[in-house]
Amino acid sequence: MSLSDSACKNAHKHAKATTGKAFTLFDDKGLHLLIKPLKDSWAKWWRIKYRFNGKDCLLSLGTYPEISLQQAREQRDIICKQIAGGINPSENRKAVKSSKADSAVNSLEVIAREWGQKKIDTWDDKNNRSKRMLERNIFPWLGASP
């Protein structure tokens, strides 16, 4: 049986009335909402369980209500398409994260600041004005580009 938004919203009330322990509400195709008690509140995490190459895998999709039921289902559908295409969603997520980190290290702003640190001893007032100009006019728009 599929979840409803009201069931997700009121899940912690059910938990208080029963055991006060962590529990799971299941949706379709491996999507579920894990509800855990914290000190003064309840935390709700979207997760999806799937099998890839004969191995059970678990992937977190975010927290409720930041990720709505509809958004969690959309992410689940994307993950199902990746699995059908022979892509491990967990490995794909790691690769994307690594790629973003690599591009951040090689960004225009990082390289320009490294170069500036090497040349700072020989700089005069004109170079300092150029640095401020870069910080105000170039880095906000092009600083993150590789």
pLDDT tens, residue by residue, 18-56: 566 788 888 888 999 988 888 777 888 999 999 999 999
Residue ranges of E strands in the chain: 23-26, 31-37, 42-52, 55-63
Same domain assignment for residues 87 and 16: yes
Confidence band for 136, pLDDT divided at 50, 70 and 90: confident
pLDDT score of 1: 62
Q: 32 and 79 share a domain?
A: yes
**Rounded (10°) CA dihedral 10, 27, 52, 61:** -30
For residues 67 and 37, is the Cβ–Cβ distance under 8 A?
A: no
Judgement on whether residues 58 and 127 belong to the same structural domain of the protein:
no
pLDDT attached to residue 20:
67
* Nearest by Cα to 31 from 64, 60, 65: 60
CATH number of the domain residue 50 falls in? 3.30.160.390
Split at pLDDT 50, 70, 90, the class of 61 is very high
Domain span holding position 114: 106-142
C-alpha 55/C-alpha 117 separation (Å) is: 49
pTM above 0.85, yes or no: no
Contact 8, 63 (CB under 8 A): no
Q: Are 143 and 107 in contact (CB under 8 A)?
A: yes
Kindly report, residue by residue over 105-130, the tens digit of the pLDDT.
778 888 888 877 776 666 666 666 77
78 with 115, same domain? no
Distance CA(30)–CA(44), nearest Å, equals: 16
What's residue 95's pLDDT? 85
One domain, residues 14 and 66: yes
One domain for residues 126 and 69: no
Residue 89 shares a structural domain with residue 110: no
CA separation for the pair 14, 138 (Å, rounded): 53
